[in-house]
A = this chain, B = another copy of it.
Amino acid sequence: MTVAATALSPYDVRLACRNGTWKEASTAGVCEGYVQANLIILPERHAADFRALCARNPVPCPLLGETKPGDPTIPSHLANDCDIRTDAPRYNVYRNGKFVETKRDIKDEWKEDSVGFLVGCSFSFEAALVKGGYMPRQIEIKRNVPMYKTKVPLCAAGALTGNMVVSMRPYPPSAIETVRDLTRPFIRAHGEPVAWGSEGAAALGIDDPTGANPDFGEASEVREGEVPVYWACGVTPQSVVMASKIEGVVLGHAPGHMLVLDMRDEDVCK
């Protein structure tokens, strides 16, 4: 990313998204120290099931907050003057459980019964990894993080079910215990990894542990002497929308293009 992007405040980023001037390939590494959120916007009739899904699956779906039905602003302790229809860089649009397009804003898609949910994101622990000397590869190579669908079923909640999505960062086996320790405190940002190495990839049902061919985001490089390390990912709710064949319009952020909040990273450690 550019130097300018790293010097921006969360509100600057939200306004740049709102004004259509935001051009970065991902929000990874942007606004160090501030929480970034996954977005999922559902018809109100699925709101109770979604809260239950998060309560039953808190590692992939750590719920940070939600909007009132039909009101696109979010509670001010999360972000001040924030309109979730415009303030993320890009959005995915789903109709009847199928992905149809990516948009820069979703003002035309927002309904009177839309409820927006904010879910924690692994980008919150990346500053801790960088500070510890464990630079996430996708920041180093200036790409979006690679994300993979898994065969691990969530605990179903009413009409909602599906499989876990994970993000991947490669590390040498000798670094894994430290990387686990560094990310464990971030309990509302997926916390420690769920699996690692070829055995972990097999347990998750990921056929290709090389970092190539991700289901979301961009390919990464697992270099010689490294293994893939997988964290639960807040794209999981979008996988749920497809698996559960939710009728009507559902909206989400575009993976890797997060809503940047005014919350601090330490706020997701409790």
Contact = CB atoms under 8 A, between A and B. Distances in A.
Interface of A: 52, 55-59, 151-153, 155-158, 180, 184, 187, 191-195, 203-204, 232
Given A56-B58, A58-B55, A58-B58, A195 B152 contact: no
B55 A187 contact: yes
Nearest to A190: B155
A260 B145 CA distance: 48
B56 A59 contact: yes
A192 B157 contact: yes
A192 B156 contact: yes
Contacts of A192: 156-158
Nearest to A200: B153
Q: How many copies does the complex hold?
A: 2
A259 B205 CA distance: 37
B232 A155 contact: yes
Contacts of A156: 192-195
A86 B232 CA distance: 40
B153 A194 contact: yes
A256 B62 CA distance: 32
A58 B61 CA distance: 13
A135 to B, nearest CB: 23
B58 A203 contact: no
Contacts of A158: 180, 184, 192
A138 to B, nearest CB: 22
User: Max chain B CB contacts within 10 Å: which of A55, A153, A184, A193?
Assistant: A153
Contact of A155 (B55, B56, B59, B153): B59
A211 B208 CA distance: 35
A203 B158 CA distance: 18
Nearest to A232: B155
Contacts of A157: 192
A57 B191 CA distance: 13
A158 B194 CA distance: 10
A10 B144 CA distance: 56
Given A153-B203, A155-B194, 6 more contacts: A55-B58, A152-B152, A153-B194, A153-B204, A157-B192, A158-B192
A188 to B, nearest CB: 11
A195 B58 contact: no
Contacts of A195: 153, 156
Contacts of A191: 56, 155
